[in-house]
Structure 1
Amino acid sequence: DNSVLHLKLSGQINERVSEADPLTELLSSSVPTPMGLNDITNSIRKAKDNDKIRGIYIDARMLAASTASLAEIRGELAKFKESGKFIVSYSDTYTQGAYYIASIADKVVINPEGMLDLHGMSSMPMFYKDALDKLGIEVQVFKVGTYKSAVEPFILTSMSDSNREQVSSYLTDMWNSIGADIAQSRNIDLDSFNAVVNTMPMMQDTDYLLQSNLVDTLLYESEMKDYLRSLLDIEEDDKIPSASVIDMKSVKPTKTKSSKNQIGLLYAVGEITSGTGSSNIQDKYLVNEIDKLRKNKDIKAVVLRVSSPGGSAFASEQIWKAIADLKEEKPVVVSMGDVAASGGYYIACNADKIVAQPTTITGSIGIFGMFPNLKKTADKVGLSVDVVKTHEFADFGNFARPMRDNEKELLQSHVERGYELFLTRCSDGRNIPKETLALYAEGRVWTGNQAKEIGLVDELGDLRTAIDIAAGLAEIEDDYLVYEFPKMRTFIEELLDKKQNDIAAETIKEYLGNHYNVFMLVKDIKEQDYVQARLPYNFNIN
């Protein structure tokens, strides 16, 4: 009856996680297991309404997550503060992402010998061209979109001017959102805050952190626990009653509802590929899930949670069609997570409403294709390929030779048709004239903030915002329950699915040694669909 929610921020934050790996927990309790964003936000929401929870203790450790996930958690904490309950934070070492969350606390505490890593944002893509040249690998590229930079690491040794322009634009906008949030919570002028960031606080002593108002108090961990006891009005030697995020999963919401009306929350997370499996976003599997939601009469609206850099253009089109069919029967609202770009935007563009975080990465409306030419590699090791064929293009896709001019023309034409279809889908879905949309396409990446300004996004907000909008469109505002789809797999199911692939990967890695990374690059290019709609990077803030 007198507890705190112990919010331990460590490891990687994913959209959802399956049940914990018991072997990892047995072998080492010090290894942070991935956390589900849904579990974290649900636990905060339950704690707000639970009279047994007096406040939240943020235990900030080594955390890795995207800015949009961090903003989702921070936003939920802001709503928690409206209850009048306390939030306090402690860390020996605040990572930038953990500090972004912790800065909203009523009191931010750091160890007297601790560190606070606050450094701003940067993008450091790796370029493989010289390495591929040494191995005799040429990557033949076909694309539409001045800003479509996914191919650059394979054909350049540094960023193009257009890519540098867009990266600078979205990084600046993302940091402006993060910096403004921190500065406001810490009651610091934004210019003064940025000046402090430029002093590299991680290398400053904790007195400097106090003077700069980045933290409130210096305490050792034992002293922090005594402070928590004082907030809970318990004795010095008493154990601090607390509940973890995992504990809160089994706690029923205080405000329970009973309703036949349901909102389906459908997760689409990972790269988009063609297939029937449940890992990442495989078109046949997701289309089947969408079809089941369409036929379910109890599901009055669907929220599609998209967190994807894109992938196969063909698979994206199949999912788009399933969403179009679903939309004819019930409202569809998209909630964009960390990234919903390229193919991720393709599958989102036809929704009734699109909601994104200010720091969501989206847009990247463009298409590309890549073909490796391994002839020089084959020559180096003494391999040769001969061909007998019945038709001119019967050996199309032969990696042991460069593509002929007529093959290049056909593939470029194929890519351009894919781009035109992509533009059409987005133009129709967003009700933006194609000529206007083309100005914002060209493969350019936008933040959620920027996307709202140009009409690619309707609202800025979190997953709960999207659910509220869906309920409004379905006219069931105060009478519904939310159910997540697809159902999460058990640990045993995950283990059986991964076992054979993991063994093969480890064998190849051991044999190739330092060449393994290059092998994986070529493998990815070879196995992907000819035409791709995807981003080149993953976005994390550490």
Structure 2
Amino acid sequence: MRNFFKIFFASLLALIVFTVIGIFLLIGFISSAASPEVPVVGSKAVLVLDLSVNFKEQAQENPFGSFISNAESEVPSLFDVVRLLEEAKSDSSVKGLYILAADNANGFSSSEEIRKAVLDFKKSGKFVLAYGETMTQKAYYVANAAERVYVHPQGGLEWSGFSSNLFFLKGMLDKLQIEPQIFYAGKFKSATEPLRETKMTEANRLQTAVWLGDLYASFLRSTTTSRNIDSATLHELAINGKIQTAADALQYKLVDGLKYDDEVKGEMLKWLKKDPKSSINFVTINEYAQATSLGNYTSGGKIAVIFAQGDIVSGEGDEEQVGSDVFKNVLRKARLDKDVKAIVLRVNSPGGSALASDVIWREISLAKKVKPVVVSMGDVAASGGYYIACNADAVFANETTITGSIGVFSIVPNFESFLKNKLGITTDRVRTAPFADMGAGDRPLTEAEKRFFQSATDSIYTTFKTRVSEGRERSMEYVDSIAQGRVWTGTRALQIGLVDKIGTLQDAVDHAAALAKLDDYRVREYPEKKDLFQQIMGGYKKSIRSSLISEEIGLEQWNFLKQLKQVKQMVGEPQTRMPYFLTVH
């Protein structure tokens, strides 16, 4: 027996030693692989902007990307893309911009910022070509800023107007005998409609028609400016379905030509004054990001740019959420840092937990007392997203930003009939007080309990409106008139006083610098990037899983599945969240 233990512990020790050695070797191997050679732009480069890439608010680094393609292991942020196009404008090695515009994975507000950057790049006099075998409307929104727009002769251009499709689950819940006991404040608060209705309420239909019409109007205006075709004619083309083929798009001057890929590249060679048989030095925006310094090394004051992207949740959250604990600490750190002279909060969130939103709001209020705080809104800054934005010194939004949705709701599901009639499960209980099991889910709420939940919802709604009233310096009566859970675009939000200016993230940063009286500044981004080891040992597996699933089933279907998962987050805790089935085609 003694020999057995000696052999056992010797083997165990050897296993531990080899495991530790293996871990260090693996870390060393990964670290060396993750330090790729910096790409070189070279001469006569053509910068490639692929709109099918989703440029998020912060750069997305794949810790395993180094094993596949060093140059493409990191996707730059939307802010970086805009600044890189600005850099390329004066970069003598970059001769033109090639926009791959078959599809566009970015939201309308993000696309608006990219489009403005493309228009600014054109001022350099360098060529800008856009091409897609087939081209969606959202891709065309950016592509029509190019000097020349081409589609494949057998391809086409989508031109059918916009639609917003909502999915309703009430019929399914009725069949399953699941009762979603819902409490809400605000007649336009439509986030719970899919659970309590089989079609849009008239209030929701009205607000959807307005904001969708605003997005469409912005799309038509941009096309009018770029293609010199009046918006009435453009709208008539969609109404009568006149754009069905690539030839139709050319006939009505929406594109400049029908070309194959080799013909587009042949035209680029002419612009570059190179031999027709030469190759083109294409440099992707990812490669250019790694090869280019954005000049963030000045000796001026520091501006903290804090990116709040995703659902607002209590606690830490994950890399795709705005966790109140994380952002509370980030804001506090920026407030206490004497080198930080101003804070810019970039909000791209549909909201979420009312409590988590208030935790973040509190830190913004404290920061505002000691240094300028400016908010920049992305694709969506609604409900809880607006809650955390309303108290800033200045609020910027793009024309196509979706914001507002000032309202509250709570959901308490009742599974009693489902458990009993579908699964044969019954429950019983002993309690020391009549409300000890309130909201348990296996029985309906009593009338008294329903009053409690509605009272809590109304109370949070009043607090929300108070935050807006104080932050925007408007009366409670006025705030109530524009609240009610109603969704607004950035353009209308400016008109009714929910935002101060239409502008990009860079505009917001410049304004923060002006408020802080900084002639020169450097930007520091938060939350800070995790190092390679943190990414591997942390929650990066979720991003990998999400990426693999979305690639397999398609981005639209994956977004639908994510929206279904959000229902779970809405149960129990009061929510300041906008409609979660919000899609535009």
TM-score with structure 1 setting the length: 0.92
Q: CA deviation at 1:528?
A: 4.3
Cα gap change, 1:500 to 1:98, in 2 (>3 Å): closer
Q: Secondary structure at the match of 1:208?
A: helix
- Out of 487, 492, 497, the position equivalent to 1:450 is 492
Distance in 2 (CA, whole Å) between partners of 1:369 and 1:136 is 19
Whichever residue aligns with residue 392 of structure 2, its letter is A
Distance in 2 (CA, whole Å) between partners of 1:351 and 1:212 is 46
Distance in 2 (CA, whole Å) between partners of 1:79 and 1:69 is 16
Q: Secondary structure at the match of 1:159?
A: coil
Whichever residue aligns with residue 475 of structure 2, its letter is P
Structure 1 partner of 2:389: 348
Structure 2 partner of 1:474: 516
Range with bigger deviation, 165-174 or 193-202? 193-202
| Per-residue Cα deviation, 1:17-58 (whole angstroms, up to 9, x for no partner) | 42136469849x9x9997632332232121112121122111
Asked whether 1:210 is paired with 2:250, we answer: yes
Distance in 2 (CA, whole Å) between partners of 1:504 and 1:459 is 39
Contact persistence 1:267–1:304 (CA under 8 A): yes
- Out of 174, 178, 182, the position equivalent to 1:133 is 174
Distance in 2 (CA, whole Å) between partners of 1:444 and 1:194 is 27
Structure 1 partner of 2:269: 229
- Out of 52, 61, 65, the position equivalent to 1:10 is 52
Contact persistence 1:18–1:491 (CA under 8 A): no
Q: Secondary structure at the match of 2:307?
A: strand
Contact persistence 1:125–1:537 (CA under 8 A): no
Distance in 1 (CA, whole Å) between partners of 2:494 and 2:481 is 15
| Per-residue Cα deviation, 1:411-449 (whole angstroms, up to 9, x for no partner) | 111111100000000000000111111100000000000
| Per-residue Cα deviation, 1:305-362 (whole angstroms, up to 9, x for no partner) | 0000000001101100000000011100000000000000000000000000011000
Asked whether 1:148 is paired with 2:184, we answer: no
* Number of residue-to-residue matches in the alignment: 527
Q: 1:56-71 residue pairs with structure 2 within 5 A?
A: 56-71=97-112
Distance in 2 (CA, whole Å) between partners of 1:334 and 1:210 is 42
Whichever residue aligns with residue 533 of structure 1, its letter is T
Q: Secondary structure at the match of 2:271?
A: helix
Asked whether 1:283 is paired with 2:324, we answer: yes
Structure 2 partner of 1:534: 577
Contact persistence 1:50–1:254 (CA under 8 A): no
Distance in 2 (CA, whole Å) between partners of 1:518 and 1:352 is 37
- Out of 394, 398, 405, the position equivalent to 2:440 is 398
Whichever residue aligns with residue 4 of structure 1, its letter is V
Distance in 2 (CA, whole Å) between partners of 1:452 and 1:135 is 44
TM-score with structure 2 setting the length: 0.85
Structure 2 runs not aligned, ≥5 long: 1-42, 547-559
Structure 2 partner of 1:245: 285
- Out of 517, 524, 532, the position equivalent to 2:567 is 524
Q: 1:138-537 residue pairs with structure 2 within 5 A?
A: 138-200=179-241, 203-204=244-245, 206-253=246-293, 258-279=298-319, 280-380=321-421, 381-476=423-518, 478-490=519-531, 493-498=534-539, 521=564, 524-525=567-568, 528-537=571-580
Cα gap change, 1:295 to 1:522, in 2 (>3 Å): closer
Cα gap change, 1:33 to 1:162, in 2 (>3 Å): farther
Whichever residue aligns with residue 502 of structure 2, its letter is L
Cα gap change, 1:169 to 1:131, in 2 (>3 Å): same
Cα gap change, 1:342 to 1:136, in 2 (>3 Å): same
Cα gap change, 1:502 to 1:36, in 2 (>3 Å): closer
Cα gap change, 1:491 to 1:193, in 2 (>3 Å): farther
Structure 1 partner of 2:163: 122
| Per-residue Cα deviation, 1:178-227 (whole angstroms, up to 9, x for no partner) | 110112101101101111223446622x2221121100112110111111
Q: Secondary structure at the match of 2:163?
A: coil
Structure 2 partner of 1:508: none
Distance in 1 (CA, whole Å) between partners of 2:479 and 2:191 is 21
Range with bigger deviation, 84-93 or 437-446? 84-93
Cα gap change, 1:427 to 1:526, in 2 (>3 Å): closer
Distance in 2 (CA, whole Å) between partners of 1:20 and 1:519 is 21
Cα gap change, 1:540 to 1:497, in 2 (>3 Å): farther
Whichever residue aligns with residue 407 of structure 1, its letter is E
Q: 1:54-133 residue pairs with structure 2 within 5 A?
A: 54-133=95-174
Whichever residue aligns with residue 71 of structure 1, its letter is E
Cα gap change, 1:256 to 1:417, in 2 (>3 Å): closer
Q: Secondary structure at the match of 2:81?
A: helix
Contact persistence 1:11–1:32 (CA under 8 A): no
Distance in 2 (CA, whole Å) between partners of 1:479 and 1:17 is 24
Whichever residue aligns with residue 494 of structure 2, its letter is K
Distance in 2 (CA, whole Å) between partners of 1:156 and 1:136 is 15
Cα gap change, 1:488 to 1:197, in 2 (>3 Å): farther
Distance in 2 (CA, whole Å) between partners of 1:3 and 1:526 is 47
Cα gap change, 1:539 to 1:102, in 2 (>3 Å): farther
Distance in 2 (CA, whole Å) between partners of 1:66 and 1:519 is 16
Q: CA deviation at 1:250?
A: 2.3
| Structure 1 vs Structure 2 CA RMSD | 2.6
Distance in 2 (CA, whole Å) between partners of 1:142 and 1:368 is 5
Whichever residue aligns with residue 211 of structure 1, its letter is Q
Cα gap change, 1:388 to 1:519, in 2 (>3 Å): farther
Cα gap change, 1:116 to 1:293, in 2 (>3 Å): same
Distance in 1 (CA, whole Å) between partners of 2:420 and 2:286 is 56
| Per-residue Cα deviation, 1:101-127 (whole angstroms, up to 9, x for no partner) | 010111111111121112221111100
Structure 2 partner of 1:512: none
Distance in 1 (CA, whole Å) between partners of 2:562 and 2:115 is 40
Q: CA deviation at 1:90?
A: 1.3
| Per-residue Cα deviation, 1:269-325 (whole angstroms, up to 9, x for no partner) | 000110124431010110000001011111111110000000000110110000000
Contact persistence 2:76–2:286 (CA under 8 A): no
Range with bigger deviation, 424-433 or 75-84? 75-84
Contact persistence 1:358–1:449 (CA under 8 A): yes
Contact persistence 2:46–2:281 (CA under 8 A): yes
Calculate percent identity across the aligned residue pairs. Answer: 39
Whichever residue aligns with residue 233 of structure 2, its letter is S
Contact persistence 1:67–1:541 (CA under 8 A): no
Distance in 1 (CA, whole Å) between partners of 2:244 and 2:359 is 51
Whichever residue aligns with residue 303 of structure 2, its letter is I
Cα gap change, 1:518 to 1:286, in 2 (>3 Å): closer
Distance in 2 (CA, whole Å) between partners of 1:99 and 1:25 is 34
Whichever residue aligns with residue 328 of structure 2, its letter is V
- Out of 58, 79, 86, the position equivalent to 1:45 is 86
Contact persistence 2:412–2:571 (CA under 8 A): no
Q: CA deviation at 1:92?
A: 0.6
| Per-residue Cα deviation, 1:226-276 (whole angstroms, up to 9, x for no partner) | 110110111112221222111121234476752241111100000011012
Contact persistence 1:312–1:528 (CA under 8 A): no
Q: Secondary structure at the match of 2:83?
A: helix
Cα gap change, 1:11 to 1:83, in 2 (>3 Å): closer
